[in-house]
Amino acid sequence: MKLVIRAIIELAGFPKSHIEESIKKIREQIEKDKDLKVIKKEITEVKEINKMWATFLEVELEVPNLNKLLEFNLNFLPSSVEILEPNKITLDTNEFTDFVNLMQTRLHEYTTAINKLILENRSLKAKKK
């Protein structure tokens, strides 16, 4: 099932040059993904907001399936995703099961990584005392 989406990826930090380079690298990574068809892309001008530099990339993409949409979301962490097409989505249970299992796998990977960082942080704090 092909999807057309619009996504906004925001970036903020400093220095300004780092934000400019980073948002371009994100755009390039999206463009290099053979499974994503870029329909439109636009990077806004980097502006200073609350003593930080900020910009965003707005992309319109054709995505081949829900799993690729989930992968895109987890890799690029857009602040907003709008599904433009199709108007209705009908899934068979196998496709939906694959989607849910992919999501669960990634969530378990993140949970494992976070727990490892927590344990390392505790260990470092204990060594300082």
pLDDT recorded at residue 91: 87
Q: Is the pLDDT of residue 129 over 90?
A: no
Phi-psi region of 8 (alpha: psi -120 to 50; beta: other; left: phi over 0): beta
27-66 pLDDT per residue, tens:
999 999 999 999 999 999 999 998 999 999 999 999 999 9
pTM, rounded to two decimals: 0.82
pLDDT recorded at residue 76: 95
63-80 pLDDT per residue, tens:
999 999 999 999 999 999
Q: Name residue, tokens 């329909």.
A: 39
pLDDT recorded at residue 1: 84
pLDDT recorded at residue 128: 84
89-120 pLDDT per residue, tens:
998 999 899 989 999 999 999 999 999 999 99
H-type helices in 1-129, by residue range?
16-32, 66-76, 93-128
pLDDT recorded at residue 56: 97
